[in-house]
Structure 1
Amino acid sequence: MIKNLYIAIITILVFFNCKEKENDEVIYEWKTIDVTASAYNSLAYQTNSNPSITAFGDSLKPGMTCIAVSRDLLKMGLKHNTPVKIEGFDSIYLVKDKMNARWEKHIDIYMGTDVKAARDWGRREVVISYGVLKGE
């Protein structure tokens, strides 16, 4: 009897905790632009003496799917933690860093400490889509 009561309580808790709520859904309007994409690593010679800390103060760790954006893209809505889809990649990337002011319409894809992968990527023109919360 007690065992059945525990199972019933757990079932009810799981049901109500897993139920989606309309207010919790994040709805984006996706905008698309052409940019130049290069790659970078969290290595001191590519950034600064603390290569794992971004310009926004986030800590980078290899395996993260994040990008740095040129400052003109920040003004277009690609602000901190904006989701970004990059042509040729399956993952969604988050804006976690910003680039030097000299760059325009440019993203830098974070590739951890894998210098070979970053060099193999090189620099290319890509299409990106970025999510802007509806109503912003």
Structure 2
Amino acid sequence: MTKQTLRNTFFFLAAFLAIGISVNASAAIKKTMVVDATAYNSVPGQTDSDPWVAAWNNRLRPGDKVIAVSRDLEKHGLTNGAKVKIEGLPGTYTVRDRMNKRFRNRIDVWMEKDIKKARAWGKKKLKIIFEPAK
């Protein structure tokens, strides 16, 4: 091999490895777990004095797919901004709120002001799939 061929091969391999490393480094690790799932609303009695602002100071807007999580789930990466798929529900939800410290292994699906819908939801055991927040 000539020096030029060796040099070109080296650069090609270096570029290939760099691309491979960056692709692997950015690949998200997904976790699954079974949790209790309830629902909540932005109404007095279920939230604090400003029911449209969540625990990490995120403003909730109609149409957002949001969940609150029990604080014990935060150690698994379910913190502000984590993306979650919930068994039986379409789309992806974002963790934007946290629950009172008395709750364990639980998510709360935000149902805006629809109290009837939240009550009909009740309490379920569901599987969630999520990417821990970065």
Q: How does 1:1-136 map to 2 (within 5 A)?
A: 27-132=27-132
Residue 63 of structure 2 aligns to which amino acid in structure 1? G
Query: TM-score scaled to structure 2, two decimals?
Result: 0.77
Distance 1:56 1:43 in 2: 18
CA distance in 1 between partners of 2:34 and 2:76 (Å): 13
User: 2:82 and 2:47 mapped to 1: Cα distance?
Assistant: 22
Shift of 1:63: 1.4
Structure 1 residue ranges (4+ consecutive) displaced by more than 4 angstroms after TM superposition: none
Please state how far the C-alpha of 1:62 moved relative to its aligned partner. 2.2
Q: 8 Å contact 2:79–2:132 — kept in the other structure?
A: no
Q: Where does the alignment leave 5 or more consecutive residues of structure 1 unmatched?
A: 1-21
* 1:10-38 deviation digits (Å, cap 9, x = unpaired): xxxxxxxxxxxx88xx6321100000000
Name 2:13's counterpart in structure 1: none
Name the Cα RMSD after superposition: 1.7
**Aligned mates of 2:27, 2:120 — CA distance in 1:** 35
- Which runs of 5 or more structure 2 residues have no equivalent in the other structure? 1-21
Q: Residue 73 of structure 1 aligns to a residue in which SS?
A: helix
- Structure in which a larger fraction of residues adopt strand: 1
More helix, by proportion: 2
> SS at 1:28's partner residue?
coil
- 1:54 Cα deviation from its structure 2 partner: 0.6
- Paired residues, number: 111
- Whole-angstrom CA distance in 2 between matches of 1:43 and 1:130: 28
CA distance in 2, matches of 1:94, 1:65: 6
Residue identity opposite 2:65 in structure 1: T
Identity %: 42
Give yes or no for contact 2:76–2:132 (8 Å, CA) kept in 1.
no
